[in-house]
Amino acid sequence: MTTHLKEEIPEILQNHGNSIAGKHMRKPDLMVGKDMMNNSNNIKSKDVGVRKGLWSPEEDEKLLRYMISKGQGCWSDIARNAGLQRCGKSCRLRWINYLRPDLKRGAFSPQEQHLIIHLHSILGNRWSQIAARLPGRTDNEIKNFWNSTVKKRLKTNSDSCESRDQVLGCENGIMPINELMTMCMDSSSTTSSSMHDMVLTHDQQFDPFPMLTNSYDMVDGVDGDYGILESNKMGLERDFSLPSLESRSIENENNSAPIDVKSHNNHFNNICINNTEQIQNSHVEDLFGFGNHGHGENLRMGEWDLEGLMQDISYFPSPNFQF
DNA sequence: AATGCGATCAACCGCCGATGT
DNA sequence: AACATCGGCGGTTGATCGCAT
């Protein structure tokens, strides 16, 4: 990793502001130790000595430095090798939700809010999928935003029969798709690419700072083909306009022949057109069979084309949400 | 100034699927 | 086939903030 990145560590940590030191934090320094073994049936032997709760600045720096120098790998190994008394999951979460340098900070822009609303109408509570469409934003962030701000606003305005889009000031309940695209392009320009959308083979070293180490060729994706470029010799698939949900599983079961994207678009377009009436009377989530039921869904996201859906997003009404 | 309470958000929990042994 | 491990995900918790009273 480049020297300048190492020099940026203090700055990156500094940029996280005061929240790093205990704002909205759980109690720090919880430790699953030997003395606790007798008190809990849930503590596994390997959890002995694992810290929980607040991440100290020192821990953040350890993890950040390790990620910079070694890159991503097995999170359990990362926790161990970085000298952190944390479980791998905790390290992963900390990195994804907080330390990743391509994270945006600050409040959601109105465009981002619109996009979240729309994507939620399509995807339901699939926060990670929604986050994949909002470069620099995390699923946790979006989930928190939804559960606090949006739910509240929708509830508050439901009495006055305002749609979710009107709640956010979008006329006709439909945000122009080109506006959404522009918003996504803007996001991409600042963060280049969502890490979610990178496909790596087992032996490929993960680059934790793709936006700093790659100079991307931007695609003209405004007129329809929001292409997934396969220009990367490492085998990375990257989408430079809309981060693509399909980038991870667009291939068929044999991982050989790519699915015909256009036929998928057409298929979905037909669904949209033919079912407009139904859609207007139904929950989008119900129509597509993936409500808030994270696991075990009948239809995997990668098996249909969201780009087509995004293009046809105007077919969807603004459903009255029920919570 | 003190208190109550809702909002915010980082982090944990538990589950699931994939993968390895 | 059975089990263990791991990564990923959505749901939930709980500490803190900030505003209202």
Gap from A3 CA to B14 C1', in Å?
Answer: 40
Q: Torsion angle of alpha carbons A108, A114, A118, A119, nearest 10°?
A: -20
What is the predicted pLDDT for the residue at A155?
65
| Distance measured from the CA of protein residue A260 to the C1' of nucleotide B10, in angstroms | 41
End-to-end CA distance of chain A: 47
Residue nearest to nucleotide B15 (CA to C1'): A295
Amino acid at A72: Q
Protein residues bordering strand C (Cβ below 7 A): A 22-27, 46, 73-77, 88-89, 92, 125-129, 139-140, 143-144, 147, 196, 292, 294-295
Per-residue confidence (pLDDT) for residue A95, from 0 to 100: 92
CA dist., res. A112 & res. A266, Å (int): 27
Task: Using alpha carbons, select from A263, A210, A213 the residue that is nearest to residue A237.
Answer: A210
Confidence band, pLDDT 50/70/90 cuts, at residue A296: very low
pLDDT digits (tens, 9 = 90+) for A210-258: 433 333 333 333 333 333 323 333 333 333 334 444 333 333 333 333 3
DSSP string across A208-256: S-HHHH--PPPP--TTS---EE---TT---EESSSPPGGGGT-B-TTSS
Output the distance from A10 CA to C8 C1' rounded to whole Å.
29
Kindly report the CA angle at A38 between A34 and A41, in degrees rounded to 5? 110
Task: Give the per-residue pLDDT at A316.
Answer: 40
What is d(CA A253, CA A263) in angstroms, rounded to the nearest whole number?
Answer: 17
A40 token code pair: 């809990």
**Beta-carbon count within 10 A of A68 CB:** 18
Asked if residue A98 lies in contact with residue A16, where contact means CB atoms within 8 angstroms, the answer is yes
* CA-based R_g, chain A, Å: 21
Average pLDDT over residues A179-207: 41
CA of A74 to C1' of B20 (A): 14
Task: List pLDDT tens digits, range A36-52.
Answer: 333 333 334 455 568 88
pLDDT in tens, A144-174: 999 888 877 776 666 555 455 555 544 444 4
Once rounded to an integer, what is the mean pLDDT over residues A283-310? Answer: 39
pLDDT above 50 for A82: yes
Question: Are the C-beta atoms of residues A212 and A193 closer than 8 Å to each other?
Answer: no
pLDDT at A110: 87
Burial A277-287 (b: 16+ CB within 10 A, else e): eebeeeebbeb
Listed as ranges, the nucleotides of chain C within 7 A of a protein C-beta are: 5-17
Which residue in A204, A192, A256, A177 sits closest to A229, CA to CA?
A192
Residue A163 structure tokens: 């749609």
**Whether pLDDT at A66 is above 60:** yes
Q: Check residue A152 and give its pLDDT.
A: 73
The residues with which A206 forms a beta bridge, in sequence order, are A72
Q: Which residue is nearest to nucleotide B19 (CA to C1')?
A: A202
Task: Enumerate the nucleotides of strand B whose atoms come under 7 Å of any protein CB.
Answer: 7-17, 20
